[in-house]
Structure 1
Amino acid sequence: MTELDVLREVLNQWKAGVDEHEPKQVASLFTDDAIFQGLHLYGVGPDNVAEYYDSQPRGLRASYEILETRRLTDDLVLGYLAVDFSFSDRPTLPVYLSVIVRQVGDSWRILHYQVSRL
């Protein structure tokens, strides 16, 4: 798989979980030791990811564009993205997102996730 294929596989699942307000589904895409930095305090591991996304308003939607990729090692891929988070009751929030995904068995999981505002 190419770096783009790897990232799309994981990020399409992430987007579906965000769009459907399924925090546990989103959290299942992260490694047990994942460092997660949304727009609030950081956390480590899927429980923190689930808590963060559970606190997000219903109707939140994510759209993304992959801007850059790097294969760091055979089992690590870095992605740099532009993401628009849209809401039903406020303006769209454009951010940048950096992720590192790790191959775990036959699947890929998010090891590092960091959002920054434009």
Structure 2
Amino acid sequence: MSDEAVLRGVLNRWKAAVDAHEPEQAADCFTEDAIFQGLHPYTVGRAGISAYYASQPPGMTADYRILESRRLTPTLLLGYHSVDFAFPDRPTLTVNLGVLLRRAADGWSIAHYQVSLLP
């Protein structure tokens, strides 16, 4: 499977959960010990990730574009993306998103998630 296909497989699951406002399903896209840095203080693990997505406003959606990817090892894939978070009641927020995916026996998951605002 190509690196882009791997990234799309994980990010499409994440996007579907974000768009549907399903925080537990969003957290399931991550490893148990994932480091997560959204636009709030960082957290580690699925419970904190689920709480982060539960705090997002209903109606928020995500649209991502893959900008770069690097296969670091057979089980680690780095992805760099532009993401537009759209809201029903305010302007779209565009961020940079770096993810590190890790492959385990049950498939690929996000082990590290880092958002930064565009200048």
For Structure 1 versus Structure 2, the TM-score category normalised by the shorter chain is over 0.9
2-side partners of 1:34 and 1:53: how far apart?
Answer: 14
Secondary structure of the corresponding residue to residue 88 of structure 1 = coil
2-side partners of 1:87 and 1:16: how far apart?
Answer: 15
Q: Percent identity?
A: 60
Counterpart residue identity of residue 43, structure 2: G
2-side partners of 1:45 and 1:104: how far apart?
Answer: 16
Structure 2 gap segments, 5+ residues each: none
Secondary structure of the corresponding residue to residue 16 of structure 2 = helix
Correspondence for 2:61: 61
Q: How does 1:102-117 map to 2 (within 5 A)?
A: 102-117=102-117
Q: Which contiguous aligned blocks of 4+ residues in structure 1 show a shift greater than 4 angstroms?
A: none
Counterpart residue identity of residue 72, structure 1: L
Correspondence for 1:27: 27
Kindly provide the CA deviation profile for residues 58-108 of structure 1, in whole angstroms up to 9, marking residues without a partner as x: 000000000000001000000000000000000000000000000011410
Structure 1 gap segments, 5+ residues each: none
2-side partners of 1:54 and 1:81: how far apart?
Answer: 23
2-side partners of 1:5 and 1:71: how far apart?
Answer: 12
Q: How does 1:33-112 map to 2 (within 5 A)?
A: 33-112=33-112
TM-score, normalization: structure 2? Answer: 0.98
Q: How many residue pairs end up in the alignment?
A: 118
TM-score, normalization: structure 1? Answer: 0.99
- Aligned-pair Cα RMSD in Å: 0.5
Secondary structure of the corresponding residue to residue 90 of structure 1 = coil
